[in-house]
Amino acid sequence: MKKVLFTGVLAFLFLLSAFPQRNTKPIISSLNFSTNNELWESIGNGIINFEADVMYIYGKLYVTSLMPDSANHKIPTLTDAYLYPLFSQFKKNNGEIISGYQGDIFLILNISNQPVQVYKELANEMRPFTEMLTFELGGVKHPGKLRILIKDNNQLETINSIKPSFLGLAGSLADIEKKTDSGKMPLIEVDFTEITSWKGTGNIPFEDFQKFKDVVAKVHAQNKKISFRNCPTYKAVADVILSSKADFVSTQEAIKMAGYFVAPK
């Protein structure tokens, strides 16, 4: 039985290593993974960008926004759930997380508290995986395949005041007009409801669709990518994302949403 399971896992990992760029979906999974199997499943469905809540607990980073009730909790570490599996892909594909995929893969971290302590531990845990990271420090660029971002500019300023970090920023709608350098802020994340009250059924009002297109165009003009979060999980919404040329939709229902981005046969 164990041999059968092991063979199955090896076959699945082989398929992932050969996973073509054209099958990737414009999705950021914002579901906190409880095992690395969920990351493998996501990649198998074409979802290669991720968002996770992280908390520093007794010397390690865990994937959670809430302090566990017991020391015997089964919450995974960030390394187990995300970093090591991604690095495994990176090594397997000779320096590419997804074979043939151009550009960076995003891992967005939501830090609930202790940002400096979180970053210190993150830097420590990232040491074995440094070659996978994309970052710029002291004017020197390190081209990798994984870009780690946080959303809170105040947290980033606090971290950088102690020591310059490899973190980037995921900006908001208000940040578009600030025109922050794309090297520091490569991604803008906009709440779906900031653009429209449309619920995802029927046709989107034309003026709202035009708002989507205008926002996307502004962000792309700054050489940044854009993601829309809190979107209704419907095929019509996926069509709007594609038609507006947005880069991503951020959702906890990533695998369900991925089914709406399948090209018709």
Q: What is the pLDDT of residue 263?
A: 65
Q: How far is CA 57 from the centre of its chain?
A: 22
Q: What's the average pLDDT block by block, 10 residues per block, for the chain (265 residues)?
A: 42 47 87 93 96 95 87 88 95 93 94 95 96 88 94 95 94 96 96 97 97 98 98 97 97 97 70
Angle at 262 between CA 257 and CA 263, to 5 degrees: 150
pTM of the predicted model as reported, rounded to 2 decimal places? 0.89
Angle at 213 between CA 186 and CA 204, to 5 degrees: 125
Please provide the DSSP assignment of 82-142 as one string.
IIHHHHHHHHHTTS-SSTT--SPEEEEEEE-S-HHHHHHHHHHHHGGGGGGB-EEETTEEE
Q: What is the pLDDT of residue 22?
A: 55
What is the residue whose two structure tokens read 């990992």? 13
**What's 81's DSSP letter?**
I
Q: What is the CATH number of domain 20-261?
A: 3.20.20.190
Residue boundaries of the structural domains of the chain: 20-261
63 token code pair: 């994937």
95 token code pair: 């320096």
- Cα within 13 Å of Cα(207), Cβ side: 1
Q: What is the pLDDT of residue 87?
A: 96
Three-state DSSP at 150 gives strand
Q: How far is CA 224 from CA 51, 71, 185, 228, in A?
A: 18, 41, 8, 14
Taking 3-state DSSP, the helix, strand and coil percentages for the chain, each rounded to the nearest 5, stand at 40, 20, 40
